[in-house]
Amino acid sequence: MKGRGGFIDTRPLRGSRPFRDLWIGSLASQLGGQIATVAVLAQVWELTGSPVGTGAIGLVTGVATLLFGLVGGTLADAVDRRTVVRVSTGGQLLAAAGLCAQALAGNRNVVVLLALVATGAACAALGAPARRTFPVRLLPADQVAAGLALSNISFQAAMLAGPALAGLVIARWDFPAAYAAQAVAVALSMLSVIRLPPMRPERTGAPDGKRRAQRGGWRIVLQRPTLWGAMATDLSATLLAMPIALFPLVNEARFGGDPRTLGFFLSAVAVGGITAGLLSGTVTRRRRAGLVQLTAAGVWGLALAGFGLGGPLWLALGCLAVAGAADTVSVVTRSALVQLETPDAYRGRVSSVEHVIGVAGPELGNFRGGLVASATSAPFSLVSGGLTATLAIAVVAAVNGPLRAYRTPSPAPTTSSAPAATAEPASASAPPA
């Protein structure tokens, strides 16, 4: 753990108290979010008994995320990012309290429930671009990838534990307790951002910032080959090979529709992701981030094609675990590359572009997979999607030399390991975001 081997790189947790506190707060928030997600799904089904009703959860969440994520990116490059995250987290806390209140009141109106879900999603999206910029401001450049790997581990752990915990809470204490758990978790997250150091965006161009305001995140991405290459790689992988929507069809056709098998599919992806996170030292210390991302994304596509080819359950689960591990490596390296390559004055807006691609790509990829499967079969959709994604990633690698050759910055001199953002007196005990 502490050496320079392949295990998880814990230097960010050991060396930065702000990042450590922020990581703990984020883990709590993610766990609470998973509990609330299951509770909302169960309550909407109880109120409507319709898949259209449960589908509306994704619709309102997706629309709110896309709209307010872009607004959040602009705000993150205009005002103190710490303030944006504080306000947005406060909004999430109010939304969680509203969900708890409607459950206690015995609400039977699904519109009220969906409105509260949309409010919470909008607040989360508003602060997401600013949150994405925190690791690069709180950590030395050579530890940013390791910090993002640790954040990914917390997300995967919440994905594994949250739904099971939600089932236990709902079964024993019903919906109010689940929403109360989310509210407590968001409150813990709020504590982790209250004492953050100032995170004002760095100015470029004219002192009044007018020049900076004229440029949007998309323009910056398109002007830098490393940025558009990293995002094109991610979009190719998710848009062409997202498998989640096909899991029920594969389970029905190949394994008799056993619901336990369906759960194994989802767990296998998460197990692969956590395993890759625990061994992330093998990649976070490698400076060839662009090449690592391209390779991992290609492995993702090939693993999902292997899942679609059939075979025994152990082989199917193995392919999904490999895909989950490759996805974790790709996400961590891409996120580090994007943050390190983007000038601080534009990080908020570029982060909002990354956030939109990260939300829209998987959703559209699941839709694409369902359409192809309805016209052909689930195995054909998986195999063709995985191979097409791998081919598209190979094309990006072939035409984008800067991405292939990209190297993360060398470790900073050891005379002062504290990043500039944490050097201010007011932030001496500040927790991370």
Alpha helices (runs of H) in 279-414, residue ranges in sequence order: 281-284, 289-308, 313-341, 347-375, 378-399, 401-405
Interior angle at CA 59, CA 31 and CA 101, nearest 5: 55
**Chosen domain end from 200, 232, 247:** 200
Pick from 200, 231, 255: which residue ends a domain?
A: 200
DSSP, collapsed to helix, strand or coil, labels residue 88 as helix
Are 60 and 33 found together in one domain? yes
Check if the beta carbon of residue 365 is closer than 8 Å to that of residue 239: yes
Q: What is the pLDDT of residue 115?
A: 95
Residue 422 placed within a domain: no
Q: Are 361 and 235 in contact (CB under 8 A)?
A: yes
Note whether 188 and 293 are same-domain residues. no
Question: What's the structural domain count of the chain?
Answer: 2
Q: What is the pLDDT of residue 244?
A: 76
Tell me: do 78 and 51 sit in the same domain.
Answer: yes
CA–CA separation, 284 and 292 (whole Å): 10
**Pair 303, 320: CB distance under 8 Å:** yes
Are residues 147 and 219 part of one domain? no
Q: Compute the distance between CA of residue 297 and CA of residue 291 in angstroms, rounded to an integer.
A: 10
Looking at the structure, tell me whether residues 9 and 60 fall in a common domain. Answer: yes
Provide CB contacts within 8 A for 425, sequence distance 6+: none
- The answer on 41 and 80 residing in a single domain is yes
Regarding whether 80 and 37 lie in a shared domain, the answer is yes
CA–CA separation, 228 and 221 (whole Å):
5
Contact in structure between 154 and 27 (CB atoms under 8 Å): yes
CATH number at residue 25: 1.20.1250.20
Question: Is the residue at 425 inside a domain?
Answer: no
Query: Is the domain of 123 the same as that of 221?
Result: no
Residue 429 belongs to some domain of the structure:
no
Is 418 contained in some domain? Answer: no
DSSP string, 158-184: HHHHHHHHHHHHHHHHHHHHHHHHHHH
Longest dimension (CA), the chain: 65
The whole-angstrom distance between residue 267's C-alpha and the CA centroid of its chain comes to 17
34 and 158 fall within a common domain: yes
335 and 293 assigned to the same domain: yes
Q: Which two tokens stand for residue 334?
A: 């891409």
Position 105 in a domain: yes
Picking from 229, 234, 224, 225, the residue whose alpha carbon sits closest to that of residue 346 is 224
Closest CA to 271 of 325, 329, 332, 326: 325
Distance CA 313, CA 319 (A): 10
Q: Is residue 413 part of a domain?
A: no
Residue 417 located in a structural domain: no
Q: What is the pLDDT of residue 40?
A: 86
Q: What is the domain extent for residue 369? A: 215-407
| Digitized pLDDT (tens) for each residue of the chain, 433 residues in all | 444 445 778 888 888 888 998 999 999 999 998 888 888 878 888 888 775 676 677 778 878 888 888 888 888 888 888 899 999 999 999 999 999 999 999 998 999 999 999 999 899 989 988 888 888 888 888 888 888 888 878 887 887 787 778 878 888 888 999 999 999 999 999 998 887 888 888 765 444 444 444 456 778 888 889 999 999 999 999 889 888 777 777 877 888 777 667 667 777 888 888 888 777 776 667 778 889 999 999 999 999 999 998 788 899 999 999 999 999 899 888 888 888 888 888 888 888 888 778 876 776 777 788 778 878 888 898 999 999 999 999 999 999 999 999 887 766 554 444 343 333 322 222 323 3
- Cα-Cα end-to-end distance for the chain: 23
Last residue of a domain, one of 200, 230, 255: 200
Both 174 and 248 in a single domain? no
245, 370 contact by CB (below 8 A): yes
6 and 58 housed in the same domain: yes
Q: Per the domain annotation, does 319 fall within a domain? A: yes
